[in-house]
Amino acid sequence: MPRPLSLHPDRLFPSDPAQRSIARRLYALVADLPIVSPHGHTDPAWFAADAPFGNAAELLLHPDHYVFRMLYSQGVSLDALGIGNPAADPRESWRLFAQNYHLFRGTPSRMWLDWVFAEAFGIDVQFGAETSDLYYDRITESLATDAFRPRALFDRYRIEVIATTESPLDDLAHHAAIRAANDSGEWGGRVITAYRPDPVIDPDYEGFRDNLVRLSELTGEDAFDYAGYLAAHRRRRAFFADMGATSTDHGHPTAATADLSHAEAEALFARVTGDGVSAADAELFRAHMLTVMAGMSVDDGLVMQIHPGSFRNHNPWLFGRYGRDKGADIPTATDYVHALRPLLARYGNDAGLTIIVFTLDETSYARELAPLAGHYPALRLGPAWWFHDSPEGMRRFRAQTTETAGFYNTVGFNDDTRAFPSIPARHDVARRIDCGFLAQLVAEHRLGEEEAAELAVDLSYNLAKAAYKL
């Protein structure tokens, strides 16, 4: 007999009765606030075409590397799951997922998925081997209805805005289609882009030189000449801004920055666009370009996000077989104090600039990031990210940063996901955790409940809108 599936109304709230009561009151103020999703990786094609999602596996399994990395760690074949294998039977892939759902006990993925199963699809028995077909059929049949098309879900989830993330080489055709739908009154959802220049900034990115050829074609600038290369970036940034972008995003291996003279930068650029670029030159060029990008943000007003500290594609076989973003990215120790100093020395005192820094190295929160953000006007702390956007990760983030940086040098929550239906689930978790954290401060008489109520709304909604200029 399948076990029942139900979401406890007090989930994630403090176990202490007094704190729990306060958390309930705070949560009631924010539970139904609109969702601001200022940084993520949902596919704009979903909202441009508004085509139905095909089946349960296509919606909930294939886009979510949190899910299939866990399955892969237990020896489950990605081919069998349908990852990069369109010939796989989606029902069989789903059954394989169901048979291994116990692997997710205690993980954030389990919380997010159970929310989707219960709240989005109304399923009241737990997912597992014996309920696999029930789930597959219920979800897939629902997806064939108008109520589960991408735009309908966007509206149902009270999403106010989503920012996707695109390469400078993207023509943003899907965003143009969304804008046309907005202009015609066909649909009112706000989906904007963000400028992610890694493919034309990182000399180690696959196809870097070919990417510069394409950048030249798109902009009419010579992207193999340093001055032309910078002009090409400015043109693409302006195009992205015209298409709604309010931010850039930079996913570098480290947080290193540098501030080279023009002559030094020209010489370095000649080396990294040549043959056989060294690891040292690649790192120095990435470091220099972060400072250059900050300068361009001073000029054009785009908020700058830095997501460093991931060893991308750690599994070379997996990368060769399946490509990027298949669950093989691993956090590394990351220095910020020394790494960010060249950029902050140049631009950190500019209160008109916003640089949002994230980390996968939690040891840096109290020691480095909170003190930096608690000093430099341009610097803000991004929320607990990726491996740490979990209940305990969110609690650790607040505990380690609030005393030094406060709440208002942080930027609320962003879900940073490819798994569209999990967006409201992730925001719900963040709101519950923040309300629990605030409830403890109130219970300890460190904060009045009226102030906590204001903070709950700020953390859930206002800070993200302000930080990302939304």
Domain match, 306 and 359 both: yes
Confidence of residue 73 (pLDDT cuts 50, 70, 90): very high
141 and 165 belong to one structural domain: no
In this structure, the answer to whether residues 333 and 286 fall within a common structural domain is yes
Task: Note the pTM of the prediction, 2 decimals.
Answer: 0.97
How do residues 272-297 score in pLDDT, each as one tens digit?
A: 999 889 999 999 999 999 999 999 99
Place of tokens 């979800």: 139
Q: Is residue 9 part of a domain?
A: no
Q: Does 3 map to a domain?
A: no
> Is the domain of 125 the same as that of 165?
no
Q: Determine, yes or no, domain membership for 11.
A: no
Domain hosting residue 96, numbered range: 52-148
Quick one: which of 99, 138, 133 has its CA closest to 116?
Answer: 138
- Does residue 319 share a domain with residue 196? yes
Q: Which pLDDT band holds residue 324 (cuts at 50, 70, 90)?
A: confident
Give the total residue count for the chain: 470
Range list of H helices, 87-225: 90-99, 108-115, 132-143, 150-156, 173-184, 198-201, 208-219
Q: For residue 178, give the CATH number of its domain.
A: 3.20.20.140
Residue 403 and residue 256 share a domain: yes
| Local confidence band at 316 (pLDDT 50, 70, 90 cut-offs) | very high
Asked if residue 1 belongs to a domain, the reply is no
For residues 199-206, give the mean pLDDT.
96
Are 47 and 57 contained in the same domain?
no
259 in a structural domain = yes
**71 and 196 share a domain?**
no
CA 450 to chain centre: 31
- pLDDT, position 154: 98
Residue where a domain terminates, one of 118, 148, 178: 148
Same domain, yes or no: 401 and 256 = yes
Tell me the angle at which helices 449-457 and 422-443 cross, rounded to the nearest 10 degrees. Answer: 160
Q: Of the residues 83, 115, 148, which one is the last residue of a structural domain? A: 148
Q: Which amino acid is at 51?
A: A
Question: Same domain, yes or no, for 283 and 418?
Answer: yes
Q: What is the largest CA-CA distance in the chain?
A: 73
Q: Please report whether residue 4 resides in a domain.
A: no
Q: In this structure, are residues 247 and 163 in contact, taking their beta carbons and an 8 Å threshold?
A: yes
Burial 327-343 (b: 16+ CB within 10 A, else e): bbbebeebebeebbebb
What DSSP character marks residue 92? H
pLDDT tens across 207-230, in order? 999 999 999 999 999 999 999 999
Whether residues 88 and 219 share a domain: the answer is no
What are φ and ψ of residue 304, in 5° steps?
-105, 125
Q: Is residue 5 part of a domain?
A: no
What would the pLDDT profile of 31-67 be if each residue is shown by its tens digit?
Answer: 999 999 999 999 999 999 999 999 999 999 998 989 9
Q: How far, in Å, CA of 282 to CA of 9, rounded?
A: 50
Q: CATH code at 79?
A: 1.10.2020.10
**60 in the same domain as 46:** no
If DSSP states are collapsed to H, E and C, what string results for 371-402?
Answer: HHHCCCCCEEECCCCHHHCCHHHHHHHHHHHH
Task: Determine the residue type at 15.
Answer: S
Calpha distance 470→432 (Å, rounded): 23
Q: For residue 6, is it within any domain?
A: no
Last residue of a domain, one of 93, 119, 148: 148
Number of domains present in the structure of the chain:
2
